[in-house]
Amino acid sequence: MNLSGQVLPLLVAFFSIPRLIAGLGTERFGVLSLAWMVIGYFSLFDLGLGRALTRLVAEKLGAGKHSEIPALIWTGLISMAGLGIAGMLLGVPLVPWVVRSGLQIPPALQPETLNAFYVLLMSIPLVIASTGLFGILEAYHRFDLTSAVRSSLGIYTFAAPLAGLFFTRDLSCVIGILMAGRILAGAALFLFCIHLVPQLKTRVGFRKD
């Protein structure tokens, strides 16, 4: 990521965080901060598939085996999304305990925090699959595209909740706004990948080897 791509999200965060604290209150902002952290950790649940996909695609490119790349990509993305769905389902029954006992959220704030965490869990498949999409672009050495998406997502992460305060302070809505950004980023990454590998549109398959 170039210098401007690193600095701009930090500047937006510096501007937004005090206003988010004032607008949400310390307790709601604490939950939002936790959500930011948890989203970052979600990408670790891919069990190394993202790095493996990057390496395998790069190897196929180096060997000139371009026809094998679409099935390889789909296999990786489907596997990663499957891991995300499994993680999401495993996390659902844990949410009430985490909110009420683990984090000891105040009773008045528990309903919207529960809803916010359920929304957060729904993003796991997308976040994990997005690591694979980043990896595909990196295999093609399109670091300009990955940098642009990461920078835009970093700015959105802080600016969008602040803009959302004009309409609501409900945590589930604020987290939903964050997830909308993840969806947009995932869509952009996928479109970039299709631009690089047009066969992804026509060669949807799953490799068993």
Say what the pLDDT of residue 2 is: 59
68-72, 79-83, 190-194, 198-202: which is most confident: 190-194
User: Does the pTM exceed 0.85?
Assistant: yes
pLDDT in tens, 6-31: 788 899 999 999 999 999 999 999 99
Q: What is the DSSP string of 113-175?
A: HHHHHHHHHHTHHHHHHHHHHHHHHHHTT-HHHHHHHHHHHHHHHHHHHHHHTTT---HHHHH
Of the chain, the percentage scoring pLDDT greater than 70 comes to: 94
Domain ranges of the chain: 3-201
Q: What pLDDT does 114 receive? A: 94
pLDDT in tens, 123-159: 999 999 999 999 999 999 999 999 999 999 999 999 9
Q: Please calculate the CA angle 10-12-18 and round it to the nearest 5 degrees.
A: 100
How confident is the model over 90-101, as pLDDT tens digits?
999 999 999 998
Mean pLDDT score of the chain: 90
Residue 163, pLDDT score: 94
Looking at the chain, how many residues does it have? Answer: 209
pLDDT of residue 42: 81
| CA angle in degrees (0–180, nearest 5) for 19-22-31 | 95
- Cα(146)–Cα(149) distance, integer angstroms: 5
